[in-house]
Amino acid sequence: MKKVAVSACLLGETCRYDGTDNKNESLLEHLKDFDIIPFCPEAYAFGTPRPTMDLVETPEGIRALSNQSGKDLSEPVVEYAKTFFDNHPDIDLFIGKDRSPSCGVCSAKVYSSDKELSDTHAAGLMAAEALSLGIDAYDAETYIKADKDT
């Protein structure tokens, strides 16, 4: 059985920044024949609820900065991602939450240091790790559409 890593909020876990979920019944139907492995780097690192964060271009590269404090929150998310994939080396597919600074595959927003939108098709921090490992990765909305087309 193929193994798919899925953003936990899409499965109905209340791990979004505001303590809600993004349960996606259509996605769950598409994944009924997969072994699903949930993940949420932000809930793990910062708890729920938590302040929001954005991807921002900095001199150190693209970093996840807290919208409340401006603090760089990147390292705990990146460390979670590395540990997750080390613990699950046999992941066949990664499905992230669209537009998430952690889990968005090709829909995360990146802002300049003065908070001007500079990119709307970036990979979030965990999604970037999945992509760097060569894992087939999709935003949930894109996966559902692609799966319907096959």
| 21-76 residue pLDDT tens | 999 999 999 999 999 999 999 999 999 999 999 999 999 999 999 999 999 999 99
The whole model's pTM is what?
Answer: 0.95
Q: What is the pLDDT of residues 99-126, one digit of tens each?
A: 999 999 999 999 999 999 999 999 999 9
Measured between alpha carbons, how far is 68 from 92 in angstroms, rounded to an integer?
36
Cβ atoms within 10 Å of 74's Cβ, excluding its own: 22
Q: Write down how long the chain is.
A: 150
User: Tokens 């894109």 sit at which residue?
Assistant: 142
pLDDT at position 149, please? 62
